[in-house]
Structure 1
Amino acid sequence: MTAPAAPVMDASLGDLLTRVTALGTDRPAITLDDRTVTFGELDRRANQVAHVLTTTGLVPGDRLAVLLRNTPEFQELLFGAARAGVVLVALNWRLAGPELETILTDADPRLLVAGQEHLALIPDDHDARTIVLETDYEPWLADAPDNEPPDHEATPDDVVLQLYSSGTTGAPKGARLTHANLAFTPRMGREFYAMGPDSVNLVPSPLFHIGGVGYGLTALGQGGHTILLSDLSPAHLLEQIERHRVTHAFAVPAVIGALLTAPRIGEADLTSLQRIAYGGAPMTEALLRRAIDALGCGFMAVYGMTETAGTVVTLAPDEHDPGGPRAHLLRSVGRPLPWLEVDVVDPVSEQSVGPGEVGEIRVRSGQNTPGYWNRPEETAATLTDGGWLRTGDAAYRDAEGYLYLHDRIKDLIISGGENIYPAEVENALAADPTIADVAVIGVPSPRWGETVKAVVVPAPDATIEPAAVLERVRERLARYKCPTSIDVVEALPRNAAGKVLKRELRAPYWG
């Protein structure tokens, strides 16, 4: 009997691009609207980026910040940075100016590439040189050689990508990901998403998220075709699936729900679709059943996080059984990928819990981040000495090892696939002079899965005007983080230690 072939594990992202380019330089790599970049073009442009980063003065370990919408230039900057040993810091263009300023101060990039539309977000006193995509980018690359990358040999443990999320204290944290962390993503695409060189992969998520930039490597790592979106409207989603004969996609439930509202959904030719992965927010059984009926393809639940370089748990298409004897699995996110370990642990005793008992999800994997940039204390709180990553998510397992998300230990709110930490929103609201006390919770939303609600106590002799409060907080926070409703109460429920009892605040809404 012939032994199974060893999985392809690229030593670096640069090696990945070299490998898939060898499958055919004229093969389509990335498409955005009417523009398609071939693998040969992507390879050459990545070489140019790598050379110009070096001649600009960046050295291995320096940071290149990117503030762009989904565009092929984002990908060539990622691969170019990888070939130069530079760390790409992906910036969320949906943030408010003060939020972005905090991240730029923390990351301290040597260079920033930004779209014209985002320049107003960049603080005037920022030190890094800014390359504007629409006016500066092509002249910046023009004279750089494109036939070979610079003389830099990346190692698997080199950090190549830094993605930011807000912490439970409201302070942004830069999760560092290495070439080795991301090397598992193409394997994931091949073995679990069932992708190959002929796959056409739709990437609706923004590339500053692991669900965009990480998931985007699944098909690209097979030499497949990646479709980026300039518009998330239901009609555009549907048009792109039909036009490019999309075979695979990953989407948060809100995007899947939007697609089902497209006017032509009942008559569209969706026969190319093979598999849609969903995650990043709670998926209701009702929406999942509607999607299975309407789209006629396999569905795959995924669970992971930025710190694990993406997916670590999956529920395969053949485990989706609406109306059958295993219909209960639709509430599960699945079982761990075979090359990693997942445990459910009592965070107090630090002991594994049995089937049906709720605990914190822990992950031990080559996908785990080596830690946060400039955050040694938070790194130590997240990574144990035994190599386990504390996710902060609560779950239980059944007797077969299927994982069911139960709650979020860190009170994280996930709205439309965006992670929102209540402490960050509470800090912004607490600065309002009319508010004496505040708690922020997530409440159900038929469109976004969850939405943000603030429960506030008025300051002495003050009257809270919710509309005015919202207007002021939108100057400090991205709109998706802002409350969509405000309740005014006389006092917040607290325990004997003075901690707000958020479970009591959530109970009327979640039952």
Structure 2
Amino acid sequence: MQSDAHTTSTLASVIRTHAAERPGAVALIQDDEAVTYKELHARSNRVAQALQACGIGPADRVAFLDKNGIAYFELLFGAAKLNAVLVAINWRLTPREVEYIVNDAEATVFVFGAEYADMAAALARELKRVKKFVVIGANDRFEPYARWRDAAGSTDPGIEAAGSDIAFHVYSSGTTGHPKGVMLSHDNLFSLLPASSANWKVDASSVNMVALPVFHIGGCGWAMVGMFNGCTSVIVRDVQPAALIDLIGKHRITHAFLVPVLLHVMQLAPNAARGDYSSLKLVVYGAAPISEEVLGGAVKLLGCGFAQAYGLTETTGAIVTLPPEDHDLEGLHRHRLRAAGKPHAGVEVKIVAPQTGEELPVGTPGEIWTRSRQNMVGYWRLEGDSATSMTGDGWLKTGDIGYFDGDGYLYIHDRLKDMIITGGENVYPAEVENVLMKHETVADVAVIGIPSEKWGESPLAVVVPVKGAVVNEKDLLAFARKYLAGFKVPVGIELRAELPRTPSGKVLKKDLRAHYWEGCTRAIN
């Protein structure tokens, strides 16, 4: 029996519906473990009861730090059955960054993988509100997740959420150096899911690969497209290109969402030519720029439909798609490979002059604004930033620069802000600059994005040394790694006597970037 996913309207109703209508269908596969919808429902009931015993109730936050795994979904649905919210944390972050997020989210329960137990132990005294620590896997210092879960009852608490209640609390990097908690409601999420399901032709018969990290909207949002439809999701914990290729054939994967760097390295894998891709129907890609060479090679290798997705955490993910029929590698419309695509049904997008908000004509670059039911509720505890990012009549300012062509295709041209996207991760130069300025040999610094065939772009630090000091690149980058996640650390240092600035003192980053981007068609690769 195929369930009607479109009757669901909250996270908890997804698992409740599928457990009732297709209990024996496999919901999740990870390595050699397969979990049916009935089993996932029962496990998430126990998680809900265990959380409730820890004092978790509606609108409370539960922190989660681990790579992709079945436990994430048990916790996600378990928290949702209490109308509570799971906050998944980027496992690439440093201890200081994790500490900030757990405290900022006001989490009172912290669940983490065994490989992060040392970090949790070191941070325990600094996590002001956390009353309960639970470890997934073996570690003598904390209560094991499986024992904690299974000691609880299996009755569904039966608590219902309203559409305006928060479903996801996702942290996105902030320009001031601290990440922002993006609040996405059930209404936001369930505006995305039907449209994306239709655009990408996902249904109950699909087999969906979840390879992107679930702390990212591209990971949790993509996973929910599959769960919404009641299909089987194959969970990838550690992304290895050769292993991904094997998984596609082994599990007869039909749908996958992959970042461009993965599409690139999969083509270089030793088993690439031997892979069985016959089950693939669609690969969605996005979260970072992609070159035509990488895209063309991926299309030829995998032999399935491709769709590009453009969106933000603040828009609950995809709002624009370039569909398979526009992936014409040789024909008259080859130029559309550089487009983000066309807005989804129910999504408004316009191009405006950033200073005035005046709508600009076709072909003229400006800031991309969007309005739809997918726009976030706001930033957690940051009313001022929320008001700055959204207009009174519902438009969200994306901070991206783009334009429409005469056929209604959106092209991303540049960024209004200085954000760098490297391998699907956002890096804000201000955060990196603030760290580097603490070093005794640095008098001035600007961080810019430079082209990277592998990552799309990578951060580079342009440094002005303190007079009489010698900047040692190796030492300075090692210093940065103490404070920053690895993907935020610059790939190199360029030394200059001074930085180019406007009369008002603003660094002319476009001048610093110019020679690195010569020959590129766009300023974001």
TM-score, structure 1 length as denominator?
A: 0.97
Deviation digits for residues 3-62 of structure 1 (CA, Å, limit 9, x no counterpart)? xxx992622111111222234212111111111111111111111111221121112111
Aligned twin of 1:275: 282
Cα offset, 1:189, TM superposition: 3.9
- Alignment of 1:140 with 2:151, yes or no, is no
On the 8 A contact 1:233/1:258 being kept in 2, the answer is no
Segments of 5+ residues of structure 1 without an aligned counterpart are 1-5
2:8 is aligned to 10
Partner of 2:124: 124
Amino-acid identity (%): 42
Letter in 2 for 1:213: C
Distance 1:396 1:7, change over 3 A: farther
- Distance, in Å, in 1 between the alignment partners of 2:49 and 2:168 is 18
1:284 aligns with 2:282: no
**Partner amino acid, structure 1, of 2:202:** M
Distance 1:93 1:45 in 2: 24
Contact 1:437/1:457 (8 A) holds in 2: yes
1:324 aligns with 2:331: yes
Q: Which region of structure 1 is more displaced relative to structure 2, 275-284 or 340-349?
A: 340-349
| Deviation larger for 227-236 or 288-297 | 227-236
CA distance, structure 1, for counterparts of residue 147 and residue 499 of structure 2:
57
Alignment counterpart, residue 385 of structure 1, candidates 366, 388, 392: 392
Structure 1 CA distance for aligned equivalents of residues 274 and 179 of structure 2: 45
- Code of the residue aligned with 1:27 in structure 2: it is A
Distance 1:140 1:7, change over 3 A: closer
Q: Does 1:480 align with 2:493?
A: no
* TM-score, scaled relative to structure 2: 0.94
Give 1:97 deviation, angstroms: 1.0
2:68 is the alignment partner of 1:65: no
User: What's the C-alpha RMSD, in Å, of the aligned pairs?
Assistant: 1.3
Q: Deviations over 1:121-154 (max 9, x none)?
A: 33131231211112521221223222x4214221
Residues 62-84 of structure 1 deviation map (CA, whole Å, 9 limit, x = unaligned): 11000111001101111111110
Amino acid at match of 2:280: L
Asked if structure 1 preserves the Cα contact closer than 8 Å seen for 2:26 and 2:37, the reply is yes
1:469 corresponds, among 468, 472, 476, to: 476
**Partners in 2 of 1:328 and 1:476 — Cα distance?**
41
Q: Are the aligned partners of 1:188 and 1:218 in contact in 2 as well (CA < 8 Å)?
A: no
Q: 1:238 aligns with which of 234, 245, 255?
A: 245
Q: Which residue of 2 aligns with 1:3?
A: none
Runs of 5+ consecutive residues of structure 2 not aligned to the other structure: 139-143, 519-525
Larger mean Cα displacement after TM superposition, 21-30 or 89-98 = 21-30
1:105 Cα deviation (Å)? 2.1
Q: Does 1:183 align with 2:186?
A: no
Other structure's SS at 1:407 match: strand
Q: Tell me the amino acid that sits aligned with residue 25 of structure 1.
A: P
Aligned with 1:192: secondary structure?
Answer: helix
Q: How many Å apart are 1:330 and its aligned residue?
A: 0.4
Counterpart CA distance in 2 for 1:9 and 1:457 is 59
**Which deviations, in whole Å up to 9, do the C-alpha atoms of 1:296-353 show, x marking residues without a partner?**
0000010001111110000110111111111111000101000221111111121111
In structure 1, C-alpha distance between the alignment counterparts of 2:312 and 2:171, rounded to whole Å: 12
Q: Is the 8 Å Cα contact of residues 203 and 212 (structure 1) preserved in structure 2?
A: yes
Partner Cα separation in structure 2 for residue 211 and residue 303 of structure 1: 10
Is the CA contact (8 Å cut-off) linking 1:33 and 1:230 kept in structure 2?
no
Match of 1:249 in 2: 256
Which one of the candidate residues 105, 109, 114 is aligned to 1:111? 109
2:424 to 417, 420, 426: 417
> Where in structure 2 are the equivalents of 1:237-386 lying within 5 Å?
237-386=244-393
* Count of equivalent residues: 505
Q: Which residue of 1 aligns with 2:523?
A: none
Aligned-pair distance for 1:184?
A: 2.7
Distance in 2 (CA, whole Å) between partners of 1:189 and 1:493 is 44
Residue 496 to residue 7, structure 1, CA distance change in 2 (3 Å) = farther
Amino acid at match of 1:217: M
| CA–CA separation in structure 2 for the residues paired with 1:90 and 1:34 | 24
Secondary structure at the counterpart of residue 221 of structure 1: helix
Could you tell me how far 1:170 is from its partner in structure 2? 1.4
Moved over 4 A (4+): none
